[in-house]
Structure 1
Amino acid sequence: MTKHSFFSVLFTFCFLLGSAQEKTIDTVFVFDNQLKNSTKFQLSSTLKEEDILKNSTNLSEVLRFQSPVYIKENGRGMVSSPSFRGTTAQQTAFIWNGINVNSILLGQGDINNLNLLGYDNLEVKSGGGSVIYGSGAIGGTIHMNNELQFNRGLSNNLFFEYGSFNTINTFLKSAFSDEKFSIKVSGNFVKSDNDYHVPEKRNYTNLNGGYDNRTFNLGAAYKINSENKIFWQTQIFDGWQHYPVFSEYDTRTKYKTNTFRSLVHWDLNLANIKNSFKIAYLEDEFQYFGNITQPKTSGGMAKIYLAKNDFNYIFNDKLAINTIVEYQNNQAEGFQSGINKVERNLGSAALLFRWNPNTKMQFEAGTKKDFVENIQTPFLYSFSGKTFVTNWYSVVLNASKNFRYPSFNDLYWKPGGNLNLKSEISHQAELANNFRHNNFSLNITPYYIRIKDMIRWLPNASGVWSPINTNNVESYGLESQLNFKKNFEKQDAKFSLGYIFTHSKNLETDKFLAYVPQHKIFANANYRYDFLEFFAQGMLNGLTYTSDDEKKDYSIPSYFVMNAGFNLRLFKHYQLGFKVNNIFDEIYETTAYFPLPKRNYSANLLINF
């Protein structure tokens, strides 16, 4: 699917473009039009491109150091999955420009096979969101957003980074727009031998740990008139991962992923009516090689055809009603998995009311029904209420019912698939307390989640691993974050500090869930004076059980990891950067037996022209 010629065309196109001539920004279009509404009530953080580039290695690093999410990673750049508020990877929804892109085979997203560079921003949002974003939006959602601007002129960005373990990371983006037309094209290439050594951990060397991936993004927009705009966004990803082995004599394996996503969006904007219509085609293909020198041993192909309409009628400045209808056709075919050609149709209808009776109060209530072929699904609901108690304190109540339906692997994998599985269902509530004073903001959010019929793969009476609905899970805790930001003359400073407490237990066994630490602290600090910027990051992770029996002998002990670096601006258009990762040479791992690198380095060059 992805061809190297795409990138040849991309780089040639961008360098042939002339120097930029800036104009006043006319319109900034975000593909996910529901995101702005939901972040008014739910705890969220926006990571802009400048934040992302501070952890440019992969998406796992960004989320580990700049969000409340716990990341379970089988070695640097390898298979990686998130945990929001004590939930599982399948209960986290990845949203690409407003569309849920979790794998219909696995039911989750592999973080390190989701492109990092090429998005204009990432939004990390805690809490349930199935009424808007569908299956899997239980613990939280991670939004990967592209933007298009009109009347902006021409701009180009080139990023090049070289780091330890022969890691190369390049990114090129070019955008042009006038009053009627906008286009943005970008490409990213990442390659690493990834052969780091941790002698303190059983003399561990990350053998066969290399990875190599490429991404191409193309976005375009046309303004028909002041009321109608057409947008198009396409992404192609092509990646290889070599899975680490523990001995030179072990058989080396690898994994290949190809992804194609294309979205067309028509936006109608009238005085009282706003309508967004989307059609999309998504395709995911994976191939697993049990021996890197032999043909593939298993694989799969998944396709999604999607149509979605979001209609919003605004009665007045206090009341609006919103309907969202969606239809999907899902198709999949496996190789050496027992899955032949399978297909299902699904649709949903949601209704939301938004009411702002005065400047101090806001309310939103929604309900939704999903229709999934051969699967029973519940009625869903959401309610949010926000009140400004004073000019420095506001409180938000969120309550919702969310769900996840079984994936194709859960249903059809042979041997083991279970056609009698029920959907996972969660009920949850949170009470967010928001404080603001001058340059400071503080959020303290206690939450509660109850999940029933969790799908787990366990060995059956015949010794075959099979999914069943087993656990009732209770998760409660606290998310909090303190932020500071100040700009003065040639200086600006930013600081954020987050603390997360998570208590997540299987109620049937009264044991903590594996890979859900009770405590996490993360902090980021930036200081810029004129042309020089310093930044530092720290992350403290508490003891983490690696099995469901709470055995401390096999748990991951607490650890603290710190990164720091600087960026130097030269001649207006150039920026040189240097970063030290894991300054204190901490020995740590997020998955048992797969330690992450000790102290390592990277240097980068960013050119804006």
Structure 2
Amino acid sequence: MDIKSSLVFVFAVCNLSLYCGQEKSIDTVYIFDNQMNKVKLFHKVNSLIPADIQKNSSNLSEVLRFQSPVYIKENGRGAVSSPSFRGTTAQQTAFVWNGININSQFLGQGDVNNIALFGYDQMEIKSGGGSVIYGSGAIGGSIHLNNNLSFNEGLNGAFNSEIASFRTYNNFLKASFSNEKFSFKATASHAISQNEYEVPESRNYINRNGKYYNTNFNFAAAYKIAPFHQISWISEIFDGNQHYPVFFESQTQTKYETQNLRSLLSWDWKKSKFNNILRAAYTEENFQYFATLNQPRTSGGAGKNYIVKNDFNYFINPKWNINLIGEFQHNQAEGIGTSGIGDISRNIASAAGLLRYMPSSKIILEAGIKKDFVEGFDSPVLYSFSGKWKAANWYHFNLNLSKNFRFPSFNDLYWAPGGNPNLVPETSIQADMNHEFKAGDFKLVLSPYYIRIKDMLRWMNTPLGYWSPFNTDQVESFGLESQLTYQKQINQHHLKINAGYIFTKSKDLEINKQLMYVPLYKIFGNVDYNYRFIRIYAQGMFNGLTYTESNEKKSDALQPYFVMNAGISAIIMKKYTVGFKINNIFDEIYETTAYYPLPKRNYSINFNINF
């Protein structure tokens, strides 16, 4: 498919050409994040389908660790977990749910293990900045949790159950119905684990008080009210509980609970030359911290976000396209207990414009500009420029330049003690290039990049004995992301290989040292083989030396490690699938956070039925 044909699909304008006289009705597959397919034209994006996610069904941290360039810092299996893109931190990573930024208004980030693993039709990992489209925090990269709805597919359902080591149980149920005008889908998942594993080789570690459980419900519906009009709705409810590991029996056991609600309503109006999508969303986050396991909560918070967003896309002619995006948010938050955060609120508005130029089937250009209006702050003007050139059938070239930002979170401003109301938004300038080579069934993508962050928000110890955030750091990050893919099918034999190599140099320019928890090297690989009703897969991940202090002290660093997993499954009578997995086959001793080793060799079996 050439670039011009690709644009026809991603803009969902018509299915024959960029500019046609006969208007077409809404596509048979509705995607909630309409911008994502446009983003893919210019940026490096790893797309994972439910079958990929099932390989690492423990939690979202495992999926990202083994199947993406992201580094995951996890305080023990299933515990607090944060991502790092291209040498940045969790606060510079945006989590995007069906086009809506869902980073916590309190922390300014997303806790990876408090985000549901199942219930999404696609998970996409985008490297590089994206604040013009996805807002605050989209500096190092973004993780997208997407749902879609299909029409004319009747009634379908699936149930998956897994039993794993450490008394772990994962269950997932999905049901859907659709006809020509109406589509509905519902999913439910529940995971629970006692999570008591031992790693005696690492300071006789026992994952005491490591229990976790979570439940997630997802509902989505769409209805075609007229040939060119459609209304859609999706909601998600998440309830999670994490016990924080302790090193000794005598230590006080603690836990953390969270409840999240997200709901999105949209009205789509699509014709041959333009389309307009009006969205109204409501998101809610609630959390409670228990300093003593079976005692009343010590602190917590409740946040509510009201969002209205309009996305207007217009084809001036076959070569020129203009995209206008306006958004308004009202954020409310209330701290509970010792947090010191009172009843607070703020308003946020933004206006963005993107202009796309397609002079030929080999070249496509996009320029974007955005202005945010954040109550209490002077926000910078953001911009982006992207270009794609199909130089030959075997070589494509992409260039991306952008300015991105993150404004302070409620904790940054108001936490007591330590909140700092004098903070300013951090900004970043970045550039990356994608060199895509194709040879037969092989595809190689080389992506060198550069990021410069100014006024980076960082919590630091103060002379008064408590931590407080400051705009202190000038950070420079550069490196290379590369990915090799291969797919081949001969009769009923199907082989798929996906491998990546990442080099990251991320320095605090004040001391000229590598940032903490940013590995210099990461390599990951996945191999899938299918023959008739049998599927076999293997995956491996190598992580290089990782400093845990800002002084590059090797004696305190996390040592390099290699972890490999493998699994096999068989389809029985077309409806039933039985599978078996081995994680950490070679019994590697490894940590992603100092003093919290992850499990040695462990196992799981799973059963799936489609109906």
Which TM class, normalised by the smaller chain length?
over 0.9
Is the CA contact (8 Å cut-off) linking 1:452 and 1:471 kept in structure 2? yes
In structure 2, list runs of 5 or more residues that go unmatched: 1-25
1:279 corresponds to: 280
Q: 1:538 aligns with which of 528, 540, 560?
A: 540
Shift of 1:404: 0.2
1:478 corresponds to: 480
2:284 corresponds to 1:294: no
Q: How does 1:87-102 map to 2 (within 5 A)?
A: 87-102=88-103
1:587 is paired with a residue whose SS is coil
- What code does the residue aligned with 1:607 have? I
1:592 corresponds to: 594
* Superposed CA offset, 1:78-106 (max 9, x none): 00000000000000000000000000000
1:595 is paired with a residue whose SS is coil
TM norm structure 2: 0.95
Q: 2:379 aligns with which of 377, 380, 385?
A: 377
2:475 corresponds to 1:488: no
TM norm structure 1: 0.95
Structure 2 CA distance, aligned partners of 1:148 and 1:183?
7
Shift of 1:462: 1.7
2:329 corresponds to 1:328: yes
Is the CA contact (8 Å cut-off) linking 1:26 and 1:152 kept in structure 2? no
2:208 corresponds to: 207
2:529 is paired with a residue whose SS is strand
Shift of 1:26: 6.6
2:460 corresponds to: 458
Give the length in aligned residue pairs.
Answer: 585
Q: How does 1:151-162 map to 2 (within 5 A)?
A: 151-162=152-163
Structure 2 CA distance, aligned partners of 1:406 and 1:569?
50
- What code does the residue aligned with 1:266 have? W
Structure 1 CA distance, aligned partners of 2:458 and 2:59?
28
In structure 1, list runs of 5 or more residues that go unmatched: 1-24
- What code does the residue aligned with 2:146 have? N
2:106 is paired with a residue whose SS is coil
Residues 142 and 247 of structure 1: CA distance in aligned 2, closer, same or farther (over 3 Å): same
2:556 corresponds to 1:572: no
1:397 corresponds to: 399
Structure 2 CA distance, aligned partners of 1:460 and 1:545?
23
Shift of 1:377: 0.7
Structure 1 CA distance, aligned partners of 2:317 and 2:53?
39
- What code does the residue aligned with 1:584 have? F
- What code does the residue aligned with 1:89 have? A
Moved more, 431-440 or 237-246: 431-440
Q: Aligned residues: percent identity? A: 59
Structure 1 CA distance, aligned partners of 2:580 and 2:80?
27
Shift of 1:520: 0.2
* Superposed CA offset, 1:351-382 (max 9, x none): 00011100110100000000000011100000
Q: 1:581 aligns with which of 580, 583, 587?
A: 583
1:21 corresponds to: none
Structure 2 CA distance, aligned partners of 1:425 and 1:320?
28
Shift of 1:464: 2.1
Is the CA contact (8 Å cut-off) linking 1:526 and 1:534 kept in structure 2? yes
Q: How does 1:181-580 map to 2 (within 5 A)?
A: 181-335=182-336, 336-580=338-582
1:216 is paired with a residue whose SS is strand
1:119 corresponds to: 120
Shift of 1:463: 2.1
2:38 is paired with a residue whose SS is helix
2:4 corresponds to: none
Structure 2 CA distance, aligned partners of 1:417 and 1:168?
40
* Superposed CA offset, 1:418-475 (max 9, x none): 1110101000001110011221111001000000100111122322211000000000
1:18 corresponds to: none
- What code does the residue aligned with 1:306 have? I
Shift of 1:586: 0.0
- What code does the residue aligned with 1:514 have? M
Q: How does 1:32-181 map to 2 (within 5 A)?
A: 32-181=33-182
Structure 1 CA distance, aligned partners of 2:551 and 2:419?
25
Q: After TM superposition, what 4+ stretches of structure 1 lie above 4 angstroms from structure 2?
A: none
- What code does the residue aligned with 1:47 have? L
- What code does the residue aligned with 1:391 have? N
Structure 2 CA distance, aligned partners of 1:569 and 1:437?
33
1:454 is paired with a residue whose SS is strand
